[in-house]
Amino acid sequence: MPSTVFDSAIFRDTFGAPAMRVIFSDAAMIGRYVEVEVALAAAEASVGVIPKDAARAIKKLARADAIDMAKLKAETDLVGYPIVGIVHELAKQCGEAGRYIHWGATTQDIMDTATVLQVRDALALVDADLAAIATALAALAAKHRDTVMAGRTHLQHALPVTFGYKAAVWLGMVERHRQRLKELKPRVLVGQFAGAAGTLASLGDKGLAVHDALMAELDLGRPPTPWHVARDNLAETVSLLGLLTGTLAKVATDVMLLMQTEVGEALEPFVAGRGSSSTMPQKRNPISCELILAAAKVVRQHAGLMLDAMAADHERATGPWHLEWVAIPEAFIAASGALRHARFLLEGLIVEPERMQRNLAITGGLIVAEAVMMALAKHTGRQQAHDLVYGACRSALENGATLLAELERLPEVTKHLKPPRLRELTAPGNYLGSAPAMVDRALKEHRRADRGAAARRRRT
């Protein structure tokens, strides 16, 4: 019976994505173990450690789908690791050639290398989702480059910005994660083959030759030394998942706040019944945003577990490694759920420019008080200008008037700034600073990143 949200028939697609679950399924994991054992036999045959006929037989006869799962579970429960049971099963499958299965290897070699193969597939899914999210954000930034809205600091109206600028800030974070992922791959996509204590002593002078041939068989990088107890590569990988889901949580937080009834400036895509309440028919809850936040917290916890797992003792750890068996699959599955919800959210985000305009006006022009102050400061000096505009703001709030009306009543202001100039200064769309130009820069960087990604795909 399912026991967690990750394998629940009800919740599994809420907290994950089907393709990612497949990568970390029992069947896929066992398949990777067998793949590594078969590749090891081929590598050892290529340098004369085992007979070539044995390697060919192992390749032909070793079948992950023929492994007796009940026996494997029983042996894993007894030994504590699955590889002994795998080797026993493969040896039976391969007959006489079975004596050469797992030659010179240790359990962690097979499991670590299999994990890296899973991580390679998982990172490809993450990369694709990040690219799609970046494309959606770039489209929002371009479309709403000049869509004026209230910028908010400490949840209060601050200065005017554009929604395109807000989307460009989100885009910048996603593009940095794409860059981090590209830089991470050479460090994490390296295999493991070092034997009992990491020295490959059982293979004599052929150890490194087998090691390098195995990595070539699996198309993995060759580490100069074993990483049985050097777990920074996998810890970095899950930490990256924590960073990128943290970014998605920031985006989700912004959208949730914009969805508030009193704000209403952006909304999750409309799907009949989605986000509804069991008792309040009017509700349209930010369900994707809420699930992104939950997934981000799960991934953050697993990033902490991976940091704990780095404290490995001597040449083979007595327990920290086992934390990875929990943290890596669940972190990737939770991250895939967050990415899936973020794609749905951003590819169909509903933006309400008219509501943004109405909200800009609710303070009667106070949102551009700085614009007036800076223009007036050229005539009076900054401090006097600040005091004059501050007083006008207080009067506007007390009288329920607009900032423009209060400014027009002050001779100290109008002798320097005539009414047409004041009307210009108190129009929020005239005080956007470099926000539109920043959008242009972000879009240029996005296009450059996409070209680079396309070039890498062509090379591979």
% of the chain residues with pLDDT over 90: 90
Q: Are 425 and 385 in contact (CB under 8 A)?
A: no
- At residue 280, does pLDDT exceed 60? no
pLDDT value, residue 3:
82
Q: Is the pLDDT of residue 278 over 60?
A: no
Higher pLDDT, 157 or 276: 157
Task: Report which of residues 348 and 274 the model is more confident about.
Answer: 348
Q: Is the pLDDT assigned to residue 283 strictly greater than 80?
A: no
What are 346-396's pLDDT values in tens digits? 999 999 999 999 999 999 999 999 999 999 999 999 999 999 999 999 999
**282 pLDDT more than 60:** no
Q: Which CATH number fits domain 366-425: 2.60.40.10, 1.10.40.30, 3.40.50.150, 3.30.2350.10?
A: 1.10.40.30
Whole-number pLDDT of residue 158: 94
Span 127-157, pLDDT tens digits: 999 999 999 999 999 999 999 999 999 999 9
What confidence tier does 2 reach under pLDDT thresholds 50, 70, 90? confident
Burial level of 380, CB count in 10 A (0-12/13-18/19+)?
A: middle
Residue in 202, 277, 322, 434 annotated catalytic: 277
Beta-strand pair 156-162/148-153: antiparallel
pLDDT interval class at 281 (50, 70, 90): low
pLDDT tens readout for residues 255-272: 999 999 999 999 999 777
Q: What's residue 274's pLDDT?
A: 63
- In tens, the pLDDT along 426-438 reads 999 999 999 999 9
**Which is the CATH superfamily of the domain at 109-192+227-357+441-459?**
Fumarase/aspartase (Central domain) (1.20.200.10)
pLDDT value for 450: 86
pLDDT tens, 212-267?
A: 999 999 999 999 999 999 999 999 999 999 999 999 999 999 999 999 999 999 99
pLDDT of residue 319: 86
Of the listed 3, 25, 144, 154, which one is catalytic? Answer: 154
Domain with CATH 1.20.200.10 in the chain: 109-192+227-357+441-459
Taking only Cα atoms into account, the Rg of the chain, rounded to an integer number of angstroms, comes to 30
Question: How far is the C-alpha of 95 from the C-alpha of 62, rounded, in Å?
Answer: 10
What pLDDT score does 8 carry? Answer: 87
Angle between helices 52-61 and 26-46 (to 10 degrees): 160
In which residue ranges of the chain is CATH 1.10.40.30 found? Answer: 366-425
Predicted TM-score (pTM) of the model is 0.93
Q: Convert the pLDDT of each residue in 48-101 to its tens digit.
A: 999 999 999 999 999 999 999 999 999 999 999 999 999 999 999 999 999 999
pLDDT at site 455: 81
Q: How far apart are CA 394 and CA 389, in angstroms?
A: 9
* Per-residue pLDDT band at 452 (split at 50, 70, 90): confident
Task: Give which of 256, 331, 244, 250 is closest to 288, Cα–Cα.
Answer: 256
Residue 154 designated active-site: yes
SS (HEC) of the chain: CCCCCCCCCCCCCCCCCHHHHHHCCHHHHHHHHHHHHHHHHHHHHHCCCCCHHHHHHHHHHCCHHHCCHHHHHHHHHHHCCCHHHHHHHHHHHHHHHHHHCCCCCCHHHHHHHHHHHHHHHHHHHHHHHHHHHHHHHHHHHHHCCCCEEEEEECCEEEEEEEHHHHHHHHHHHHHHHHHHHHHHHHHHCECCCCCCCCCCHHHHHHHHHHHHHHHHHHCCECCCCCCCCCCHHHHHHHHHHHHHHHHHHHHHHHHHHHHCCCCCCEECCCCCCCCCCCCCCCCCCCHHHHHHHHHHHHHHHHHHHHHHCCCCCCCCCCCHHHHHHHHHHHHHHHHHHHHHHHHHHHHCCEECHHHHHHHHHHHCCHHHHHHHHHHHHHHHCHHHHHHHHHHHHHHHHHHCCCHHHHHHCCHHHHCCCCHHHHHHHCCHHHCCCCHHHHHHHHHHHHHHHHHHHHHHHHHC
With 80 as the cut, is the pLDDT of residue 277 above it?
Answer: no
Predicted confidence band of residue 457 (pLDDT cuts 50, 70, 90) = confident
pLDDT tens-digit map of 51-65: 999 999 999 999 999
